[in-house]
Amino acid sequence: MTEMRTLKVALLGCGNVGAQVARILIEDADALAARTGARLQLSGIAVRNVNAPRDVELPQELFTTDAETLVKDADLVIELMGGIEPARTLILSALRNGACVVTGNKALLAQDGPTLYEEADKAHVQLSYEAAVAGAIPILRPIRDSLSGDRITRVLGIVNGTTNYILDQMDSTGAQFADALAEAQRLGYAEADPTADIEGHDAAAKAAILASLSFHTRFALENVHCEGITSVSAADIAAAKDAGFVIKLLAIAEKLANADGGEGVSVRVHPTLLPREHPLAAVRGAFNAVFIEAENAGELMFYGQGAGGTPTASAVLGDLVSAARRLVLGGPGRTETTTGHVPALPIDAAVTSYYIGLDVADQPGVLARIAQLFAEHGVSIEIMRQTIHRDAESKVESAELRIVTHRASEAALAATVEAVKGLDVINSVTSVLRVEGV
């Protein structure tokens, strides 16, 4: 057997994912070497506290608090610390030293990706981040490489397992949001401070990354309209269910006509009604999936585990082996192409269908007046359904009106809802939710 080259791998961070990456690098060293053509030697693990307890037993001598020195001596750097600093400085330093970098840091990529990409381009090294979106699911490489000869028109993703678990629980048990969240926290699907998940911030960072790769244009977090799931009620879920829909928190990036006649991309995260027969509707529990529409390929879906130490470690190692093979075989690295330069559209420009729930007075002509008002605002109604609730003496207690519109712009819808609120026959607008996949 010929002598194999050794590549030094520096690991920054040893949490949930990092510990599994270290374990696999050690346990599967021979298999990884066979596939790479070089030995991947874990040269050290930078942590804040070398004595902190770990998920996995690892050789104590690997741990160090001196991340900078570790990075300087590495051929490949895996950054799994999370957060902006010191991750950003360490990644930039690694790239400048000519090391390939693998990261799962979606917050950093969404906030300051362009700086990192430029540094990687300059140094002709590879910056990969498959683990940053949808955990174990290979999604960034297929978008970047497999679909590089196609035109993606729309991406719909369930990219946050915590919120999918909560919404799925609400859907299957009828639980209220607060109870489903508490259950998710008890089972470890939600963190003690669940803000980043339930407010949609985590999904928004992933939406920015998906949009950037899909449309060959750099989109930042500030281009993403973001609504979380905290206001989704058990009543919303029940009404959606009744109408044949399921509510999912979707990260959406789609190409739309811009107001100036050109094209733009709407990037947004919000609770969305999906018909139960849509492939994404079947994504249960904490699973993730990304649904892609492309001009030539048509509809594609990628499904798998979106989080968890071991699954996410699989994505990190896929990037690591690919980068290492590149080092072994020679040739420069490649990050992403940004040749599209399509503008990000404001949320007002988004075009979608809407589900509107109204508590209305039971008077003759109410439906006609509401329908008329929608028509005046250019919003076409697809389905209108009235349910009358009566008490024991058959007296009307309340009347509920559920409307699903055809595709309309956010602006037109907002104006319609505003006008509806002004009608004297409306007691309240109980819900306004967007609908996809119809």
Residues of this chain that interact with its own copies (CB under 8 A) are: 20, 24, 28, 31-32, 34-35, 130, 136-138, 141-142, 145-151, 216, 279, 282, 294, 296-305, 308, 310-311, 313-322, 325-326, 329-332, 334, 337, 339
Query: Two tokens at 155?
Result: 């991406």
Query: Looking at beta carbons only, is 168 or 319 nearer to its own copies?
Result: 319
**Residue 60: half-sphere exposure toward Cβ, Cα within 13 Å:** 4
Q: How far is the CB of 15 from its own copies (least distance, A)?
A: 16
- 241 among known catalytic residues: no
Q: Which is nearer to its own copies, 245 or 355 (CB)?
A: 245
Rounded to whole angstroms, the Cα distance separating 45 from 15 reads 11
DSSP code at position 344: B
- Closest distance between its own copies and the C-beta of residue 2, in Å? 13
**Of 20 and 169, CB closest to its own copies:** 20
Q: Which of 72, 106, 206, 248 is catalytic?
A: 206
Which residues have C-beta within 8 Å of that of residue 85, sequence separation ≥ 6? none
Helix (H, G, I), strand (E, B) or coil at 419: helix
Nearer CB in complex with its own copies: 299/397: 299
DSSP calls for 130-179: GGGSSTTS--HHIIIIITTTS-EEEEEEE--HHHHHHHHHHHHH---HHH
List the beta strands (DSSP E) in 23-140.
Answer: 38-46, 63-64, 76-79, 100-103, 127-128
What Cα–Cα distance (Å) separates residue 315 from each residue in 11, 33, 318, 383?
A: 15, 17, 5, 43
Q: What angle do CA 403, 409, 412 make, to 5 degrees?
A: 75
Closest distance of CB 354 from its own copies, Å? 27
At its nearest, how many Å lie between its own copies and the CB of residue 174?
21
CB of 329 to its own copies, least distance (A): 5
The candidate with the shortest Cα–Cα distance to 424, out of 376, 370, 386, is 370
**Between 145 and 382, whose beta carbon lies closer to its own copies?**
145
Active site residues: 206
